[in-house]
Structures are given as structure tokens and as C-alpha cells.
């Protein structure tokens, strides 16, 4: 079983601060996705990165896939209370179609 470790596990910041969440594995993934989950709901896809070194931006969120396709990061600029939630990375391994392995999650709280 491939493991995806996320850090930090919890993060509490004030509105306007910047933050970075990390997703690390010893395994190579063919692609990696980031999801956000709000209380009482299922995760919702934010982005997919496929190529090693790829950087994608979604408004104030910047996602990067590591060169070796073993790790990824999510950077949020000028966090807002609406960014509050559980952030999950998920990797698709190189040998299995469609199945995703999810990370341990980072719970972010942004306060005024």
C-alpha cells in the first residue's frame, strides 16, 4: 500500500497570511490531485497535476508536482475564511487504473 503523508496535520492562521501544505510519498505517482472537504460534505476536486515539475494556479492557490512525481505542495496566498476546510492530496499510482490513494489530510482554519 502506498502512503501519502501530509504536513502539517493542523494549521490555524489569520486572514491575509500565506501558507504551504505538503504531500510526500516514497512512491512515484502518475498524477496527483488535490481535494478540499467541508464539514458534512464529501471532498471536491481542486486540481490535477500530471507532469513532474508542473505548476498550476487556481486564483490564490498554487499547486506544484515534484520533479520526481513523489511529492506535491499547495500554497495559499492571502488566506481567507472561505479557505477553511480539510485539504487532501490523492495520488494515482503508475500501475493501477483509476484508483486513488489519499493522503492523511491537512485541516486548515482561517480566522478574521
Q: Which residues bind other proteins (CB under 8 A)?
A: 1, 4, 6, 9, 30-31, 33, 35, 40-45, 48, 50, 88, 90, 92, 97-105
Nearer of residues 40 and 82 to other proteins, judged by Cβ: 40
Nearer of residues 30 and 111 to other proteins, judged by Cβ: 30
φ/ψ (deg, to 5) at 50? -120, -40
| Nearest distance, CB of residue 16 and other proteins, angstroms | 28
Nearer of residues 87 and 110 to other proteins, judged by Cβ: 87
- Cα–Cα distance measured from residue 13 to residue 79, given in angstroms and rounded to the nearest whole number: 8
Q: For the sheet containing 5-7, what is the strand order?
A: 5-7, 19-24, 71-76, 61-65, 55-58
Amino acid at each position: 500500500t502506498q502512503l501519502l503523508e501530509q504536513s502539517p496535520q493542523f494549521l490555524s492562521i489569520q486572514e491575509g497570511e500565506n501558507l504551504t501544505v505538503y504531500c510526500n510519498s516514497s512512491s512515484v505517482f502518475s498524477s496527483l490531485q488535490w481535494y478540499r472537504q467541508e464539514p458534512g460534505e464529501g471532498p471536491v476536486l481542486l486540481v490535477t497535476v500530471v507532469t513532474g515539475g508542473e505548476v498550476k494556479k487556481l486564483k490564490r492557490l498554487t499547486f506544484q508536482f515534484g520533479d520526481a512525481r513523489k511529492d506535491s505542495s499547495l500554497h495559499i496566498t492571502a488566506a481567507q475564511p472561505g479557505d477553511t476546510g480539510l485539504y487532501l492530496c490523492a495520488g494515482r499510482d503508475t500501475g493501477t487504473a483509476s484508483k486513488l490513494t489519499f493522503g492523511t489530510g491537512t485541516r486548515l482554519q482561517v480566522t478574521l
